[in-house]
Amino acid sequence: MGWKSKIRKSLLDLQVVGGYADKVMANESFLDCALGTNPFGTPEGVKKKLKKLDIDLSKYPDVHYNILKEELVNYWEGAVKEDDLFICNGSMGCFEKVNKFTIQDGTRILGVSPQYPRYVSDATALGAIYESIKLKEEEYFEIKVDEIINSLDRKYTLLYLDNPHNPTGQFLRLKEITEIVDEAEKKGILVLVDEAYEDFVEKKESAVNLNYNNLIVIRSFSKGLGLASMRIGYAVIKNPELCELYKKVDLPFPVSRISEILAVEALKDFKFVRNTRKMIAQIKQKIMSALKKEFFISKTHPTTPIFLLWGKEDTYQYFLRRGILTVSGSAFGLNNSYVRIRIPREADEFLRRLS
């Protein structure tokens, strides 16, 4: 018997759908409308702080990340305590840990599809059975709360929701998330809400504001706060028993001291986030108004920078030939007739390339 017989079968059998990050073309001639970063870059306060940093790189960071946790408690105005917070290597580092303590062979997970593919591949690699509610093209991929609630069943260990939704950019309001989490709690289901894009929406609508024993919320500094290079995120868990499970699978020093310092600075710049939302709404509306003449567009929220679009036999190549880089729908289990577009910094250059 060879070494393969000793490897987890679910991993050997896994066919990874997605991985669009490694397909992005590093070519300055393309207008980047692919990766879900902030089109307006990084807050100026963060840039200034970075230039002034003087850190002893021979030392480990604070294993508890107390400075960042204190700032997060202030940022959330008392909705969280320091004990509720777990700092991780990007939001992906957080859901890896959650998957590690919730999944065993045969664990059933419910999601919606299409949705963020790397969560799905990580869960299935650990032996989970992923089932999904299929969003319908004829309904413009609208997420229906009632359909999610009616699909909840005690056979599921976990419900995974990305909110705002990737790739459509839809957003479920806090009232709707509350209804879902409440019903899931009655059926013994954990709810994992991935809020990687939530900084593009007002924080009063975040699930962080809820207090449920079956709720885990994951957030990122990579998107709205403009720190994708720093690879930093955090999980919010208010159930002490779930916290203990997370601690058992967590590893020390998940992010650098530099990342922690810059994350603290990013949380202070409320003006940057507000302006980002305002500019995104203007650019997104202008671009979608032009695209609707020739394409179909998913349900989407006005201030999230992404949306799903379709209407050509190969929509991905259509944009690529015009020097616009998007994410193919094949990354989300669809095909090249669909693309996810992340709006650019300016609408005019995008529209010029289409003309």
* 272-282 pLDDT tens trace: 999 999 999 99
Residue-level pLDDT at 104: 93
pLDDT at 3: 84
Q: Which CATH architecture has domain 57-268?
A: 3-Layer(aba) Sandwich (3.40)
Q: Hey, what amino acid is at 121?
A: S
The answer to whether 85 and 69 have CB atoms below 8 angstroms apart is yes
Q: In the predicted model, what is the mean pLDDT of the chain? A: 94
Q: So what's the pLDDT on residue 20?
A: 53
Q: How confident is the model at residue 314 (pLDDT cuts 50, 70, 90)?
A: very high
What does the pLDDT read at residue 208?
Answer: 98
CATH topology of domain 3-42+270-354: Aspartate Aminotransferase, domain 1 (3.90.1150)
Closest by CA position to 180, among listed 159, 149, 220:
149
Domain ranges (residues) in the chain: 3-42+270-354, 57-268
Residue 269, judged by CB atoms within 10 A of its CB (0-12, 13-18, 19+), counts as: middle
* pLDDT at residue 27, as a whole number: 66
pLDDT band at 26 (very low <50, low <70, confident <90, very high): low
pLDDT class of 18 with cuts at 50, 70, 90:
low
Q: Give the SS3 label for residue 156.
A: strand
Rounded Cα distance between 321 and 254, Å, is: 40
Cis previous bond, 164, omega within 30: yes
